[in-house]
Amino acid sequence: MHETIGISSPQPKLLQVIRDYYLLTKPRIIPLLLITTAASMWIASQGQVDPILLLVTLLGGTLAAASAQTLNCIYDLDIDYAMERTRKRPLPSGRVQPRNALIFAIVLAILSFTLLTVFANLLAALLALSGIAFYMVIYTHLLKRHSTQNIVIGGAAGAIPPLVGWAAVTGDLSWTPWLLFALIFLWTPPHFWALALMIRDDYAKVGVPMLPVVEGEEATTQQIWLYSLIVVPVSLILIYPLGSAGIVYGLIAVILGIFFLQKAWLLLQNPTDKQLAKSLFKYSILYLMLLCTGMVIDSLPMTHEVVSACSDRFGMIVSAIPNA
Q: Does 69 bind ligand FPP (CB under 6 A)?
A: yes
Q: Is 38 in the site for ligand HEM (CB under 6 A)?
A: no
Q: Whole-number minimum distance, CB 242 to ligand HEM, in Å?
A: 20
Q: What is the rounded CA–CA span in Å between residue 310 and residue 246?
A: 13
Q: Which is nearer to ligand HEM, 113 or 287 (CB)?
A: 287
Q: Binding string to ligand HEM for residues 47 to 86, with x set by CB under 6 A, is what?
A: --------------------------------------x-
Pick the binder of ligand FPP from 71, 125, 160, 211 (CB under 6 A): 160
Is 90 a binding residue for ligand FPP by CB under 6 A? The answer is no
CB 102 within 8 Å of CB 74: yes
Q: Which of 145, 149, 112 is closest to 130 using CA atoms?
A: 112
What HEC string does 257-323 produce? HHHHHHHHHHHHHCCCCHHHHHHHHHHHHHHHHHHHHHHHHHHCHHHHHHHHHHHHHHHHHHHHCCC
Other residues' Cβ atoms within 10 Å of the Cβ of residue 54: 19
Shortest CB 76 distance to ligand FPP, Å: 6
Question: For residues 38 and 58, is the Cβ–Cβ distance under 8 A?
Answer: yes
> According to CB under 6 A, which one of 25, 40, 188, 220 is a site residue for ligand HEM?
188
Closest approach of ligand HEM to the CB of residue 62, in Å: 13
119 to 178, contacts with ligand HEM by CB under 6 A?
139, 151, 154-155, 158
Whether the Cβ atoms of residue 78 and residue 143 lie closer than 8 Å to each other: no
Q: Whole-angstrom Cα distance, residue 18 to residue 204? A: 33
Report, in Å, the least distance between residue 2 CB and ligand HEM. 33
CA dihedral 150, 128, 62, 20 (to 10 degrees): -60
Nearest approach, Cβ of 33 to ligand FPP (angstroms)?
6
List contacts with ligand FPP (CB under 6 A): 29, 64-65, 68-69, 72, 76, 86, 128, 131-132, 135, 144, 157-158, 160-161, 164
- Which residues form the interface with ligand HEM (CB under 6 A)? 28-29, 32-33, 36, 85, 139, 151, 154-155, 158, 184, 188, 191-192, 195, 285, 288
